[in-house]
């Protein structure tokens, strides 16, 4: 984490592009973005 940007960026590197799955604040529900991965795989 960067001190002035307290968010985690969850991404997947694909052959043709980089897929940003979530920009998540660490205090938000942990793992709320896990369901998003299944949508794109």
Report whether pLDDT(40) > 70.
no
Of the candidates 12, 8, 28, 30, which has an alpha carbon nearest to the alpha carbon of residue 20? 12
pTM of the predicted protein model: 0.57
Domain residue ranges of the chain, discontinuous segments joined by +: 8-40
| Number of helices followed by number of strands (H, E) in the chain | 1, 2
> Between residues 28 and 10, which one has the greater pLDDT?
10
| pLDDT tens-digit series, residues 16-33 | 999 888 888 777 777 677
Say what the pLDDT of residue 17 is.
95
Do residues 37 and 12 lie in contact, with contact meaning Cβ atoms separated by under 8 Å? yes
> Between residues 37 and 6, which one has the greater pLDDT?
6
- Percent of all residues in the chain with a pLDDT value above 90, rounded to a whole number: 15
């Amino acid at each position: 984490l960067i001190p002035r940007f307290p968010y985690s960026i969850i991404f997947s590197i694909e052959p043709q592009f980089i897929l940003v799955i979530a920009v998540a604040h660490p205090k938000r529900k942990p793992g709320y973005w896990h369901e998003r991965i299944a949508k794109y795989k």
